[in-house]
Amino acid sequence: MGGNKMDRETLLEKMEARLLTEAKKTMEKASEKEKYHALSKVVMEEIAPNWIQSEERFTNSKKAYYLSSEYLMGRALTNNLINMQIKEQVEEILEAEGMEFDALEEQEEDAALGNGGLGRLAACFLDSAATKDYPLMGYGIRYQYGIFKQEFNNGFQVEKGDDWTRDGDPWSVKRRDRAVTVQFHDEEVVALPYDMPIVGYGKNTINTLRLWEAHGKKAFDLETFNRQDYQGALEEEIKASAISKVLYPDDSTEEGKILRLKQQYFFVSASLQDLIHKYKETHEDFREFHRFHAIQLNDTHPAVAVPELMRLLTTEEELSWEDAWEVTTKTLAYTNHTLMAEALEQWPVDFYKKLLPEIYEIIHRIHNQLLVELRDRGISSPEEFQIIHHDSIKMAWLSIYGTHSTNGVAELHTNLLKNIELKHWYDLYPDRFNNKTNGITQRRWLLKSNPELSELITELLGGDDWVVNLEKLQGLRKYGEDEKVLERFDDIKREKKRELADFIQIHEDITIDPESIYDIQIKRLHEYKRQLLMAFYILDRYYRIKDNPKEEMYPRTFIFGAKAAPGYFRAKGIIKFINEVKKLVNEDPDMRGKMKVVFVENYRVSYAEKLFPAADLSEQISTAGKEASGTGNMKFMLNGAPTIGTYDGANIEIVEEAGEENNFIFGLRVEDIESIRESYDPKVPYEKVAGLKRVVDTLVDGTFDDENTGMFQDLYDALLKGAHWHKPDHYFILQDFEDYRRTQRQVEEAYRDRKNWMKKAWANVAGAGKFSSDRTIEQYAKEIWELQKG
């Protein structure tokens, strides 16, 4: 094996050797799972030499480091083989030996290291940086159980531990030699790193994702064990290991909040210590540290990097405060992912004093330094800038002040940051603010998940350059009226729809019609994403059909996929409500041939790879001004699904690229919301919009049963009464309902003209070039990190 070729005999011999030594089985006797592990380890052997060479090649270069609490990586086997450009060869070799490659791929557990767009964006960035020859290393936590494995029990979300490494993890290398100690006030924790290779497409660049696992300083106390205190002998290890057990542990209690804070400091401190240790191997002057390191904070979860880097530089490396501050701000950069004030992270001062007293003192000093700077600049009322305010630490303020760059992730988002949400900071530091519209990697979201469409694109463009330069898709525009091309495109879409129908039949035990409109909303469950609006529409459509059975309706399959955070009561209520609607619709014989509802269980990357290519319609219906960007909208677009959505996030740029006439925009815009916010009364649409009251009242009139949890009453009250922290219908679901319903009628009318619909779908594919994470990472590398290619 070597280069871009895989030698048949060597591959099979190495797999056989792995099976003999690790499973004590021959190829004939091995299970699919065992063959998958053997193949993966052989592929890792192929990766390793280039991985080491890549690290050596960038030894004296400036490198970037991505600090993120999430990495939603997806399966590695096929993605790595595609990027190594040997997938077809490996597939042919295995299938010649009677092994089904797809069956082996299905044995891989999704690495449970993320939940939503934040983590998937991080994964796309790592892929793009390696492909574009930029040295970017990821740092995070190696969660044992990740977010959770979602199950539905009578319509309620139930969280089960997702022990994704229970059968081993062939894609990680334990690096005990790089372990470091993280110090809390009354506890020392060992951070043990595991390295995962990030293979760039068709290149020799292989970057690293380093994930930290937490262990007790004294993992086992023999003396205590010999006193028959068996639990006490393991107490330190149990307490420490909790830090890397679960992504986003339930933080509805103080203990849960403390654990989250521990997680943040744990991986940030370990990562910064790691960088400092490596720097000291070849350098002495820490005043030059920023010339070799660019560190990106992915949202505010790693914001404690500001005081922690100050601590390490001043206390450990003995820089003056002034020199350390200059190095820190020049090294660190911050990505803001939210416009919602309630989502801008804050921590009680008491938590920091209790857990990280030294870090708190540094934050307090930074806070005072800012106040002096504001005074010197003639700002007489500094309250809105205060990092420590009302006994809370504002992590977004700390991130802005302690870095040299703050970026939004879509044009609208960045403009709202500069002009409204963070205007006071923008006025203070205009040079620090910039936009980096998010992107997705076309290697996973088209080349891997939709090979049939990929082949058509390659044929039409006369080559596969688009795989590393998605802007080439513009060349597809000239085929927008070509009936033969559109027919082939339609055939591919129909095939992907049949594949999804088969998959859903097996995994959800629901039969869906491949000839129906696949109307899909898949994303993290949050009120602002308005899964509830779509559920209300489905229920309204159901009642209208019941009232008028002869009403024409193009058959439609509504598909949801989402997980709610374990402590997010209202989001769990929405899941239960959707599942109640699903049960009502699917069990009613009058709906046969008209409507089906699917809520896919345990939505994850490998499931998403089947959903995006099959979609006819992309639901991007967040309240305008709430979705910073979105990346699912880009994956739908790339696979030829028009968007029904609000003028929000990257939707705006999507319709600019593909044409508003090829998408379906509805609802209030940001400026509309601002103009009615104070006067808005949701009881007006509730009472006056035909059919709306009927569907909303099902929350409380006994139509559906939430088993006395209070979930549905809470949803009803949130819409019509509000709560102590928000006004009624805070996300304008009722206000936007009528326009959403009207626009859905437009969707149905447009879909009846299938030829014209495929033109809309094709325009979306051809316009998707801007939304590659390759483009985004080039902008980060040149405009924020100042990196050179390898």
The pLDDT score that the predictor gives to residue 19 is: 96
Cβ-based neighbours of 679, under 8 Å, separated by 6 or more: none
Pairing of strands 63-67, 293-298: parallel
Mean pLDDT of all residues in 545-551: 94
Catalytically active residues are 337, 523-524, 529, 631, 635
Residue 567 has pLDDT above 60, yes or no: yes
Q: Which residue has the tokens 């597809």?
A: 476
pLDDT at position 418:
96
The span from the CA of 343 to the CA of 257, in Å, is: 15
Question: How far is CA 540 from each of CA 543, 545, 547, 704, 736, rounded to the nearest angstrom?
Answer: 5, 9, 11, 15, 14
Q: What is the CA radius of gyration of the chain?
A: 27
H helix runs in 58-171, sequence order? 77-83, 87-96, 101-105, 117-131
Under the banding of pLDDT at 50, 70 and 90, the label for residue 48 is: very high
Distance CA 313, CA 324 (A): 6
**Closest by alpha carbon to 79, among 467, 461, 600?**
467
pLDDT of residue 4: 62
Q: Is the pLDDT of residue 673 over 70?
A: yes
Which residue from 75, 119, 120, 123 is spatially nearest to 101, judged by alpha carbons? 75
pLDDT given for residue 607 in this prediction: 96
Q: Is 503 helix (H, G, I), strand (E, B) or coil?
A: helix
Cα–Cα distance, 330 to 332 (Å, whole number): 6
User: Does residue 381 surpass a pLDDT of 70?
Assistant: yes
Among 26-30, 141-145, 251-255, the least confident range: 251-255
Rounded Cα distance between 689 and 47, Å, is: 60
Please, which residues have CB within 8 angstroms of residue 318's CB and are 6 or more apart in sequence? none
Distance of CA 47 to the CA centre of its chain: 26
Residues 6+ apart with CB under 8 A from 134: 64, 205, 777, 781, 787, 789, 790
Exposure of 78 in the CB half-sphere (CA atoms within 13 A)? 24
- DSSP code at position 726: B
Say whether pLDDT at 295 is over 70: yes
Average pLDDT over residues 255-278: 97
**Burial class of residue 448 (count of CB atoms within 10 Å of its CB; 0-12, 13-18, 19+):** buried
Structural tokens at position 593: 């041939």
Show the domains of the chain with their CATH numbers.
Answer: 61-76+111-433 (3.40.50.2000), 442-771 (3.40.50.2000)
- Name which residue leads in pLDDT, 367 or 219: 367
pLDDT range class, residue 317, cuts 50, 70, 90: very high
Whether pLDDT at 25 is above 90: yes
On the question of pLDDT at 545 being above 80, the answer is: yes
Query: Which own/partner pairs from 346-350 qualify as long-range (CB within 8 Å, at least 24 positions apart)?
Result: 346/392, 346/393, 346/394, 346/395, 347/261, 347/392, 347/393, 347/395, 348/391, 348/392, 348/393, 349/388, 349/391, 349/392, 349/393, 350/391
Average pLDDT over residues 287-299: 98
CB of 72 closer than 8 Å to CB of 119: yes
Residue 241 near residue 215, CB atoms below 8 Å: yes
Give the mean pLDDT of 85-90. Answer: 95
pLDDT of residue 790: 75
> Is a pLDDT exceeding 50 seen at residue 155?
yes
pLDDT, tens only, 418-475: 999 999 999 999 999 999 999 999 999 999 999 999 999 999 999 999 999 999 999 9
Q: What pLDDT does 233 receive?
A: 64
3-state secondary structure of 5: strand
Segment 230-250, tens digit of pLDDT: 777 688 889 999 999 999 888
- Strands, E assignment, 450-582: 517-522, 556-561
Q: What are phi and psi of 422, to 5 degrees?
A: -120, 30
Strand-by-strand arrangement of the 346-348 sheet: 346-348, 392-394, 388-389
Percent share of the chain, pLDDT over 90: 91
Model confidence at 722: pLDDT above 80: yes
CA distance between the termini of the chain: 24
Does pLDDT of 539 surpass 50? yes
- pLDDT at position 203 is 75
For residue 552 the two structure tokens come to 């024409």
Specify the pLDDT at position 532: 98
Please count the residues of the chain.
790
Please say if the pLDDT value at position 228 is more than 90.
Answer: no
Global pTM reads 0.96
Q: What is the pLDDT of residue 226?
A: 75
The answer to whether the beta carbons of residues 607 and 561 sit under 8 Å apart is yes
Residue 116: strand, helix, or coil: coil
Encode pLDDT of 51-84 as tens digits: 999 999 999 899 999 999 999 999 999 999 999 9
- Position 2 scores a pLDDT of 40
